[in-house]
Amino acid sequence: MRMGRSVNFQDEIKVRTEETEEIIRRYLPEEDGFARTMAQAMNYSMLAGGKRLRPMLMRETYRLFGGNEKVIEPFMAGIEMIHTHSLIHDDLPALDNDDYRRGKLTTHKVFGEAMGVLSGVSLLNYAYETMLRAFSLSQETDRVVQALTVMAEKTGIHGMLGGQSVDVENDGKLIDKGMLDYIYENKTSALIEASMMTGAILAGADKSQISLVENAAKNIGLAFQIQDDILDVTGTDQELGKPVHSDEKNHKVTYVTLLGIKKASEKAEELTREAISQLKSLQKNNEFLFMMVEKLINRRK
Amino acid sequence: MRMGRSVNFQDEIKVRTEETEEIIRRYLPEEDGFARTMAQAMNYSMLAGGKRLRPMLMRETYRLFGGNEKVIEPFMAGIEMIHTHSLIHDDLPALDNDDYRRGKLTTHKVFGEAMGVLSGVSLLNYAYETMLRAFSLSQETDRVVQALTVMAEKTGIHGMLGGQSVDVENDGKLIDKGMLDYIYENKTSALIEASMMTGAILAGADKSQISLVENAAKNIGLAFQIQDDILDVTGTDQELGKPVHSDEKNHKVTYVTLLGIKKASEKAEELTREAISQLKSLQKNNEFLFMMVEKLINRRK
């Protein structure tokens, strides 16, 4: 499981991403019966690509704390369903009104707007159906309850959905850094926190370790979102699979508009360093996890 | 808890509805912080009236099996949140495009369409946050897990959301009775089943009892939906708080269009009688529950 720096990171991340894909696919709904069109819409969005960042971070954090059971798998599939649900809804005409994501037509463009709403919700609900299966995979019932509780809180009004709502409500408005940080910490960091905390909880981490992981994840999420802002300015449509310069067109306040590219980059690097140093302070080894976090701010998509 | 037929049913249902309202209100999100507008949207729809049928049936089934603990309360609030989430989304422009419900402006008319989507999802997620609290109210962890699992399955693609998706997909099309029954059994019955099964599960009912309750609830849900079809033809806008004759205008296939009002009424009565006889076969007494079920098909809204 552990790897030295000598192992080729690019090869290894390919292998682990494919393993994650396989786990996710196993938990997708069957496309049969009367409701097969909705199952198709759910699976279309789930299989439209993506880095699988959240389940990967979850699994590597689980390994960091010595976890090696199957109980992590329904949670890996679940967090990706929750994330994907938020993308489907983000793209709806009533929200960002995007036709493309990852170079493919968005769900509502293929299946219609009503099915966009319903299949998004249905993925969120299916995440819970899926995660509840963890009770049959573990004797550690308390840990599963705690992980489910964290997932629900970080997804809801006091997490991702809260962040989305404030983002939508202030669309095109000049907002201050306090509100921007609130939006980033919830819209983006909350699910990264849920991923890594769930990994720690299921592996039996104690309260102070879980709290440290939460803080590291918050920093990783913030760095990730700042890098997203930067890529919107410096990337190409082809690399990102969606139109660049959308923030500028939408008069959106971002870390780039607030600080400029150079300072925003420095901030993302600083947050990443901080996160890695927090994780290393646990005195546990998962070199792959540390490298994964490090590489996140150098990504091109 | 138990009541004879001599007790005035109208007085008693008023009292029990108010108790249910009080329980639901206790679990609603605070309207504070950055995301307070979404909390307002969630609470607006939760407090816009309604019969509280599902939490009432849940509680009375719980009592039928001798349940008398607080663990039922987060589930009562949860099922009403799930139900209300589905109403918010049903009313969206992309779905039924309704401006009024229960005589009040629909959520997206008051808070905008984006907030309609997000507050609906947020209520569904908050239902899980709320129901997960039940673990701290009961030592019977297995029962709570089983109840959560039933709630998730009956809500999702193999339950209510599946029914909604097929309903939406076949909007305005001529569908056969097989598909209509699928839609009714999922769109409407599934949450009634979840309510009553949860009551039975949390009170410690055994497998065959739970299965009997599931069947009775399916019949109640179907009778309820047929009565809804009838009221759309025979009711007034004022009674229903929404426009009548909407099915006819939308060329919707219903039990009334398939069978005519008289036969549809007979079917609803037959299903109700069957449900009550199933519940009575348990040899347990909750006269209030039996009367509640009986009165459902005589309602005017």
Average pLDDT of the residues in B15-30: 98
HSE (CB half, 13 Å, CA atoms) of A116?
27
Report CB contact under 8 Å: A37, B169.
Answer: yes
CA dist A165 and A170 (Å) reads 9
Per-residue tokens: A199? 């990994």
Give the dihedral sign, CA B230/B232/B238/B242: positive
SS3 of A220, please? helix
Average pLDDT of the residues in B246-264: 89
Q: Residue B1: its pLDDT value, please? A: 45
Strands A104-105, B100-101: pairing is unpaired
Per-residue tokens: B221? 């849900």
Decide if A215 contacts A281 (C-beta within 8 A).
Answer: no
Residues from chain A that touch B123, judged by Cβ atoms under 8 A, are none
Q: Residue B174: its pLDDT value, please? A: 92
Average pLDDT of the residues in B39-54: 96
SS3 of A104, please? strand
Decide if A244 contacts A269 (C-beta within 8 A).
Answer: no
Report CB contact under 8 Å: B153, A85.
Answer: no
Average pLDDT of the residues in B154-177: 96
DSSP assignment of A221-277 equals HHHHHHHHHHHHHHS-HHHHTS-SSHHHHTT---HHHHHHHHHHHHHHHHHHHHHHH
Q: Residue B151 above 60 pLDDT?
A: yes
Helices and strands in chain B, H and E counts: 16, 2
Q: What are phi and psi of B100, to 5 degrees?
A: -130, 145
Q: Which chain A residue has its CA at the smallest distance from B159's CA?
A: A35
CA dist B242 and B91 (Å) reads 11
DSSP assignment of B100-133 equals EETTEE-HHHHH-HHHHHHHHHHHHHHHHHHHHG
Q: Residue B247: its pLDDT value, please? A: 80
At residue B46, what is the residue type?
Answer: M
Å between B120 CA and nearest CA of chain A: 9
Sheet strands (E) in chain B: 100-101, 104-105
Give the dihedral sign, CA B92/B96/B99/B105: negative
Give the dihedral sign, CA B10/B12/B18/B20: negative
Q: Residue B112: its pLDDT value, please? A: 97
Q: Residue A7: its pLDDT value, please? A: 63
SS3 of B182, please? helix
DSSP 8-state secondary structure symbol assigned to residue B45: H
Largest CA distance in chain A: 54
Reported as a single tens digit per residue, the pLDDT across B100-117 is 998 999 999 999 999 999
Decide if A297 contacts A272 (C-beta within 8 A).
Answer: yes
Residue B296 region, left (φ>0) first, then alpha (ψ -120 to 50), else beta?
alpha
Report CB contact under 8 Å: B166, A124.
Answer: no
Strands A104-105, A100-101: pairing is antiparallel
Q: Residue A59: its pLDDT value, please? A: 98
CA dist A255 and B74 (Å) reads 40
Average pLDDT of the residues in B28-54: 97
CA dist A153 and A166 (Å) reads 17
Q: Residue B4: its pLDDT value, please? A: 52
Reported as a single tens digit per residue, the pLDDT across A29-52 is 999 999 999 999 999 999 998 999
Whole-angstrom distance between the N-terminal and C-terminal Cα of chain A? Answer: 27
Task: Select the more confidently predicted residue: B246 or A132.
Answer: A132
ipTM of the shown complex: 0.95
Å between A228 CA and nearest CA of chain B: 23
Which residues have a Cβ under 8 Å from the Cβ of B136 and sit 6 or more positions away?
none
Report CB contact under 8 Å: B152, A129.
Answer: yes
Which one of A82, A92, A128, A151 would you mutate to disrupt binding with B, by most B Cβ within 10 Å of its Cβ?
A: A128
Decide if A45 contacts A81 (C-beta within 8 A).
Answer: no
Average pLDDT of the residues in A260-285: 96
> Binning pLDDT at 50, 70 and 90, where does residue B7 land?
low
> Binning pLDDT at 50, 70 and 90, where does residue A222 land?
very high
CA dist B200 and B209 (Å) reads 8
Average pLDDT, chain A: 94
Q: Residue A23 above 90 pLDDT?
A: yes
Average pLDDT, chain B: 94
| Cα radius of gyration rounded to whole Å, chain A | 19
Task: Select the more confidently predicted residue: A29 or B4.
Answer: A29
Q: Residue A3: its pLDDT value, please? A: 52
Residues from chain B that touch A158, judged by Cβ atoms under 8 A, are 35
Which residues have a Cβ under 8 Å from the Cβ of A112 and sit 6 or more positions away?
B94
Report CB contact under 8 Å: B157, A128.
Answer: no
Q: Residue A1: its pLDDT value, please? A: 46
Task: Select the more confidently predicted residue: B237 or A19.
Answer: A19
How many CB atoms neighbour CB A210 within 10 A?
Answer: 18
Decide if A132 contacts A59 (C-beta within 8 A).
Answer: no
Q: Is the pTM of this model over 0.80?
A: yes
Q: Residue A251: its pLDDT value, please? A: 82
How many CB atoms neighbour CB B1 within 10 A?
Answer: 10
Q: E strand or H helix at A42, and its extent?
A: helix A36-46
At residue B186, what is the residue type?
Answer: N
CA dist A138 and A90 (Å) reads 35
CA dist A284 and A65 (Å) reads 7
Per-residue tokens: A180? 């921007």
Reported as a single tens digit per residue, the pLDDT across A120-174 is 999 999 999 999 999 999 999 999 999 999 999 999 999 999 999 999 999 989 9
Q: Residue B73 above 90 pLDDT?
A: yes
SS3 of A100, please? strand
Report CB contact under 8 Å: B157, A29.
Answer: yes
**Nearest-CB residue to B145 (from A120, A135, A162):** A135
DSSP 8-state secondary structure symbol assigned to residue B281: T
Average pLDDT of the residues in B73-77: 98
Task: Select the more confidently predicted residue: A108 or B102.
Answer: A108
Average pLDDT of the residues in B244-256: 84
Average pLDDT of the residues in A179-185: 97
Q: Residue A249: its pLDDT value, please? A: 78
Size of interface A-B (CB pairs under 8 A): 156
Å between B177 CA and nearest CA of chain A: 13
Report CB contact under 8 Å: A126, B157.
Answer: yes
Decide if B162 contacts B189 (C-beta within 8 A).
Answer: no
